[in-house]
Structure 1
């Protein structure tokens, strides 16, 4: 993998963690003071910000080559990373990275990865700006199809299970509300659910916000 090669060539230490589906990593300002850069080597995760009152704010859905730089200044607020499928995450220390003065190629790749990650933050912000919950859900699924979808026999499949619980977290609503809306969506054949595991679209033009 390119990140391992870059870091090894620059003699920068790193750690790799394997996450199974629904495994999570907690990042806060007290623990994990080191290893405050995370790079997704493979797989898919989503990030939420957790406030002292346990309120969740969805941040982004990240996958291969996205990078997260942890901010240690948010006291009593932490970030929770949840794997949507088997995922490998590489972590390294920002301070050590700076000390080692990485070469131009590594700096360029990290900057490009961070720019792509910012785009994922903006997608979730746009989804959360929708006042109508149904629109949030449809926009979330559309964006996931565009970013992660696999085309087969003119159908678009989301390659991992997207549970109502996770849809609720990523749209800032309750699981019960999502269940009711998803039932209506399935009944209208806007989106289909295969064996209650894999969501797919027969025709992306059927996905509208009406």
Structure 2
């Protein structure tokens, strides 16, 4: 892996953590970040904790994205949607001056840029009021990033519960059930055994365009 190779070669201390599906990583608003956290492999949903009862899904981040937040006004909760691996490296001034070289700096900038672009794309989805539009857009993103061809369909190899989709999209499970049934009846998307199958990605994108 690029990160482990670069850090080992530069003798930079780092740690790797394993998150199982459903595990949480919480970044409290009162604690200053002293490490950069990068997703080596996996996918996490990112939640913005407003208060004890109000939580909003801000983004979905995956392999290569940086999940360290510099926003000290809010708490963020990252929930792993499948087994994921996170690498942690120090960002204190002393550590950076002592160890960092241009390759690592470029890698950090590259990952930050990808994370920012992903967050912008996801936010554009979440500002849309139509839950069906949100769901289809998320399915398209997951298909493009994780999809594999299986029996002439695109299978998203992630075990995703309907309640996970409801929480991510800000809807309820009844709404998700109705949307998935409608997509299945039209032979566009099938949800079976907690996996999502896309029958025609081109038609799915066109269907999403019609919902705008």
Within 5 A, what are the aligned runs for 1:122-161?
Answer: 122-161=120-159
- Residue 90 (structure 1) shift: 0.7
| Aligned equivalent of 2:70 | 71
RMSD after superposition: 1.9
Does residue 201 of structure 1 match 2:198? yes
Does residue 169 of structure 1 match 2:176? no
| Distance in 1, Cα, partners of 2:39 & 2:126 | 24
| Aligned equivalent of 2:49 | 50
- Residue 40 (structure 1) shift: 0.7
Within 5 A, what are the aligned runs for 1:8-47?
Answer: 8-31=8-31, 33-47=32-46
Question: What's the secondary structure of 2:30's corresponding residue?
Answer: coil
Does residue 86 of structure 1 match 2:86? no
Paired residues of 1:12 and 1:100 also in contact (CA < 8 A): no
| Distance in 2, Cα, partners of 1:203 & 1:180 | 20
Within 5 A, what are the aligned runs for 1:178-197?
Answer: 178-194=176-192, 196-197=193-194
With the length of structure 1 as denominator, give the TM-score of the two structures: 0.88
Paired residues of 1:37 and 1:92 also in contact (CA < 8 A): yes
Deviates more, 1:124-133 or 1:176-185: 176-185
- Map Cα deviations across residues 126-176 of structure 1 (whole Å, 9 max, x no partner): 111222111111111112111221123431110101221221222122233
With the length of structure 2 as denominator, give the TM-score of the two structures: 0.87
Residues paired across the two proteins, number = 206
Q: Which consecutive unaligned segments of at least 5 residues does structure 1 have?
A: none
Q: Which consecutive unaligned segments of at least 5 residues does structure 2 have?
A: none
Paired residues of 2:22 and 2:81 also in contact (CA < 8 A): yes
Paired residues of 1:48 and 1:57 also in contact (CA < 8 A): yes
